[in-house]
Amino acid sequence: MKVGALARSVGPLVGLIFVWVLFAVLNGGSFVQWSNQRLMLTQTAVVGTAAIGATLIIIAGGIDLSVGSTIALGTVVVGLLLDAGEPPLVAALGGIGAAMVCGLIIGTLVIGRLGGALTVIAGAILTGWLWARLGAPMPAAVGAGAVAATGLALLVRRFDARLPLAPFIVTLGMWGALRGLAKGLADNGQVHPPDATWVGGLLDRATVLPTGVWMFLGLALITGAALRYTRFGRHVYAIGSNEQTARLCGVRVERTKVWIYILGIGCAGLAALMQFSYLKAGDPTTAEGYELKVIAAVVIGGASLSGGEGTIRGTIIGALIMTVVDSGCTHLGIDNWVQEIVTGAMIVAAVALDRIRHRRAT
């Protein structure tokens, strides 16, 4: 293994050990207690879950600036479904599904299929109308919306001109649109369902490790294995390394990109489920600033914003580093604004080191 690759692989782990030992020495016994370690793992679960999805997107050369808004929208959808008497499983799947639909819209816009994005939006609107206005069961409403969107897509396919858009622009626009949609659905307030027992217990601290943490770790294992051992994973790296070369090698770049955004932003839907568990309510203002935290976790973990590099293991370590720094600063009584400065400095340092490494390699 080359020195640069070794440093990129081991560096984040060394950094995690360093900051943990540093705060353990500075804070004394309270920091190293199991209750605090469990709390840090619980706090990492939400950001880490969203960061796993962002890793897929960044490795493929994209970016997602809408993750915080997606999480907020997901909590509102879960809250509305529970408040309407839907079973917890349906509510959970509804929150994740809403995020995946957002990913589908973003993916189709990124590859330049404006007509495709509009058909997805039309299907989502029809689904909401059938469920909210006509009282149709959620599975039936989703099915009808999917059929309608598919039919419209077939009709406009021949007339859908290609107009690829930069992921930065698309997700920046969706950042505002999804936040506004969440506020509109929640009527500028919070959604407090009467019974959120199952969903609300995902991050219950009464257990040794909350269910949400196990879900987070399981997702990390599955996604890491998929990136390393499957054809889809190889295609993700190939697209991020050189999109034109990947296309010449037979990779269906456009289709793969859409799936990357569906799955990547779908992870934000799972993070929304965990965030709802923590809040016990759907909150359209939650997760503000999570875009910075998620991107920081991925970049600090060794991924390159240029694409083609990154691992799930590194992302998890990056998320843990941020949690340890936040927890350590809190134990020391350091103000929150200082923690934000530290987070920003870590991102700049990680990107600078990545640029230096690439310059030396060329």
The CATH number covering residue 314 comes to 1.10.3470
Residue 137 lies in a domain: no
Our measurement of the distance from residue 255's CA atom to the centroid of its chain's CA atoms, rounded to an integer in Å, reads 20
Phi, psi of 330 (to 5 degrees): -65, -45
Residue 56 lies in a domain: yes
Residue 129 lies in a domain: no
- What pLDDT score was predicted for residue 160? 60
- What confidence tens digit (pLDDT) does each residue in 251-269 have? 999 999 999 999 999 999 9
- What pLDDT score was predicted for residue 210? 86
Q: Which domain holds residue 251?
A: 3-113+162-187+203-361
Calculate mean pLDDT across residues 39-46. 92
By the 8 A CB rule, do 287 and 72 touch? yes
Calculate mean pLDDT across residues 111-129. 81
Residue 29 lies in a domain: yes
Please state the domain count of the chain. 1
The pair of three-digit structure tokens given for residue 16, joined into one six-digit string: 């995690």
* CA–CA–CA angle 323, 295, 168 (5° rounding): 160
Portion of the chain with pLDDT greater than 70, in percent: 91
Quick one: which of 125, 4, 6, 43 has its CA closest to 339? 43
Residue 266 lies in a domain: yes
By the 8 A CB rule, do 260 and 100 touch? no
Residue 138 lies in a domain: no
Distance CA 161, CA 288 (A): 35
- What pLDDT score was predicted for residue 291? 92
Distance CA 325, CA 331 (A): 10
- What pLDDT score was predicted for residue 348? 86
Residue 71 lies in a domain: yes
Residue 148 lies in a domain: no
Other Cβ atoms closer than 10 A to 165: 17
